[in-house]
Amino acid sequence: MSRATLLRAAAGAVATGGLLAASGAATARAVGRTEVPVRRPRAQAPGAPGTRALEVRKVADLTGPGLTTRFRMEATDLGIPARTPDGRTLYVFGDTFENAVVGGGWWRSPVALWSTTTDLNAGVTWSGAVGGEAAQQLWPYEHDNPEFSTVLPSDVITIGGSMFLHVMVNKGLGNVVWTEIWRSDDSGATWTHTGAKFAADRDGGLFQCLSWGLGNDGWVYVYSTSFTRSRPVILNRVRADRVTDPAAYEPWGHRDGTWAWGNPATPVLEGAFGELCLRPLGGKWVLTWFNAGDYRIDGIIMDTPTSDLYAAYRRTLVWGGAWGEEDDAHVAQLYGGYIIPGSTLDDLHLSVSQWNTDANWPYRVMQHRVRGFGS
Distance CA 282, CA 286 (A): 9
**Torsions phi, psi for 224 (to 5 deg):** -150, 165
Structural domains of the chain in order of their starting residue, each with its CATH number: 3-39+55-371 (2.115.10.20)
Give the predicted TM-score (pTM) of the model. Answer: 0.90
Percent of the chain with pLDDT over 90: 85
pLDDT at 204: 98
pLDDT at 50: 52
pLDDT at 52: 75
Low-confidence stretches of the chain (pLDDT < 50) are: 1-49
pLDDT at 47: 31
SS (H, E, C) 223-291: EEECCCCCCCEEEEEEEHHHCCCHHHCEEEEEECCEEEECCCCCCCECCCEEEEEEEEECCEEEEEEEE
Q: Any idea what the Cα angle at residue 145 is, between residues 143 and 147, rounded to 5°?
A: 120
pLDDT at 190: 99
pLDDT at 25: 37
pLDDT at 264: 98
